[in-house]
């Protein structure tokens, strides 16, 4: 997610194991150059410019994205789901997109192969989709990936594809191979790290397929609770520093699995598996003086955390306590004159921060945007199947 993204880099994915790094490279942060004056930010959400930006990305990705080829499905998710938020789902060929996404699913040659320990999910791109050998089995380097599987299903949901047509039995049965004894998940069947990002991806996959046979929810819950820090936030792994992206993965996973309900702050906290008041305090402390949200203590505000932290506050019923005017002003400073959003004010836009800029404005109830399903990070109507 640097600090993962799905950064669920939270900004830039690891090209070796195709992880969605939800954690922007904040360690490499340096202030944008101030040599030339910036144009004043727009006072409005520039929907038309964002549509032009996403339509351009839909047609042809700039060469700067070559290094992220292994995450092509993730980039497609940002574009297609972003268009849905902007009310422009009709601008894509839904049948063509669905067919393209389905071509990335790894399918076992027979039921026996489901016991070989591999994961039969979705590949992130053609560059990780290895051919079958002479026995019609995938090579040992089958690299279908849990985060890519989440993105594939998200795209299919947004395009209105019937998920019952997917070989979900093979997907979920093999996904159980990824869950570890402590309840965490690896993203691939061998050699991957384990943390809350992939617990979230597994929970979201099960939720979207309406089938929880792919994971042990009780084990996953215990792992999540072991990742909560003394300050109320959650780290990516037990004992690590609280982090905005990890906290989202924890809370959203608990909601998807049914362990926490709506508006925790109005409920009896003694019966909750987490301390909502402590979590609320940690989240509210992440809104900085510039109005934006930071991912960790003493880090700069960043567009994407308006979603990661803002969605947590929505899920626990504390979003009314956000200074929404200040947050909106910060986000508008990150809105590019070319369309899209940048990580920090004054920088060029990118797909990752653009998508989470749209979700953040949806949380702020921007009139021109579709409402948000905070636990899935998708447009509400797509998430609900409407």
End-to-end CA gap in the chain:
30
Q: What is the DSSP letter of 333?
A: H
For the chain, percent of residues with pLDDT exceeding 70 = 84
Does 165 have pLDDT greater than 70? yes
Instruction: Report CA-CA distances (Å) from 120 to 35, 57, 99, 155.
Output: 51, 29, 18, 18
Distance CA 282, CA 133 (A): 51
DSSP string, 4-30: -------SS-BTTTTB---S--GGG--
Does 18 have pLDDT greater than 70? no
- What per-residue confidence (pLDDT) applies to 132? 61
Of 121-130, 153-162, 229-238, 327-336, where does mean pLDDT reach its minimum? 121-130
What are the structure tokens assigned to 27, written together?
């360690």
The per-residue pLDDT for range 42-51, each reduced to its tens digit, is: 789 999 999 9
Element (H, E) at 253: helix 244-256
Give the residue from 189, 151, 149 showing the smallest Cα distance to 168: 149
- What per-residue confidence (pLDDT) applies to 385? 63
Distance CA 101, CA 24 (A): 26
- What per-residue confidence (pLDDT) applies to 53? 98
3-state class (DSSP) for residue 221: helix
More confident residue, 28 or 299: 299
Of 58-72, 275-289, 319-333, where does mean pLDDT reach its minimum? 58-72
The two most distant CA atoms of the chain are separated, in Å, by 64
Judge whether 54 and 81 are in contact, CB under 8 Å: no
More confident residue, 3 or 90: 90
Backbone angles phi, psi at 155, to 5 degrees: -60, -45
Q: Which domains does the chain have, with CATH numbers?
A: 47-132+139-379 (1.50.10.20)
Give the residue from 243, 363, 273 showing the smallest Cα distance to 310: 363
Average pLDDT over residues 120-130: 82
Judge whether 224 and 253 are in contact, CB under 8 Å: yes
Distance CA 253, CA 94 (A): 28
3-state class (DSSP) for residue 293: strand
What are the structure tokens assigned to 261, written together?
């309900």
Query: Residue 56: which residues within 8 A CB-CB, separation 6 or more?
Result: none
Judge whether 38 and 52 are in contact, CB under 8 Å: no
Of 42-46, 179-183, 334-338, where does mean pLDDT reach its minimum? 42-46
- What per-residue confidence (pLDDT) applies to 349? 97
Other residues' Cβ atoms within 10 Å of the Cβ of residue 300? 18
């Amino acid at each position: 997610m640097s600090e993962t993204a799905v950064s669920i880099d939270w900004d830039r994915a690891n090209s070796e194991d195709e992880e969605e790094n939800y954690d922007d490279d904040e360690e490499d942060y340096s202030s944008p150059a101030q040599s030339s004056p910036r144009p004043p930010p727009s006072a409005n959400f520039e929907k038309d410019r964002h549509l032009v930006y996403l339509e351009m990305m839909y047609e042809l990705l700039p060469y700067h994205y070559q290094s992220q080829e292994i995450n092509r499905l993730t980039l497609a998710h940002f574009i297609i789901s972003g268009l849905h938020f902007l009310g422009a789902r009709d601008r894509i060929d839904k049948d063509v997109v669905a067919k393209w996404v389905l071509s990335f699913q790894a399918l076992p040659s027979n039921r026996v192969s489901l016991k070989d320990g591999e994961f039969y999910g979705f590949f992130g791109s053609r560059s990780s989709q290895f051919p079958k050998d002479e026995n019609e089995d995938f090579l040992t380097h089958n690299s279908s990936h849990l985060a890519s599987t989440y993105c594939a299903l998200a795209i299919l949901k947004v395009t209105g594809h019937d998920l019952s047509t997917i070989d979900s039995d093979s997907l979920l049965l093999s996904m159980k191979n990824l869950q570890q004894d402590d309840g965490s998940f690896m993203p691939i069947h061998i050699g991957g790290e384990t943390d809350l990002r992939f617990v979230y991806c597994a929970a979201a996959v099960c939720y979207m397929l309406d089938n929880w046979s792919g994971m042990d929810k009780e084990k996953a819950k215990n792992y999540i609770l072991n990742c909560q820090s003394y300050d109320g936030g959650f780290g990516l792994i037990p004992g690590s520093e609280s982090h905005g992206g990890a906290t989202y993965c924890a809370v959203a996973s608990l909601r998807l699995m049914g362990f926490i309900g709506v508006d925790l702050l109005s409920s009896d906290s003694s019966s909750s598996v987490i301390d909502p008041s402590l979590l609320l305090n940690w989240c509210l402390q992440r809104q900085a003086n510039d109005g934006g949200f930071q991912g960790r203590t003493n880090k700069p505000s960043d567009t994407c955390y308006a979603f990661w932290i803002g969605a947590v506050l929505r899920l626990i019923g504390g979003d009314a306590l956000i200074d929404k005017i200040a947050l909106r002003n910060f986000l508008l400073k990150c809105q590019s004159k070319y369309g899209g959003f940048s990580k920090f004010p004054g920088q060029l836009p990118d797909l990752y921060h653009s998508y989470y800029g749209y979700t953040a404005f949806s949380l702020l109830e921007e009139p021109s945007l579709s409402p948000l399903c905070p636990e899935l990070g998708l447009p509400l109507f797509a998430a609900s199947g409407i």
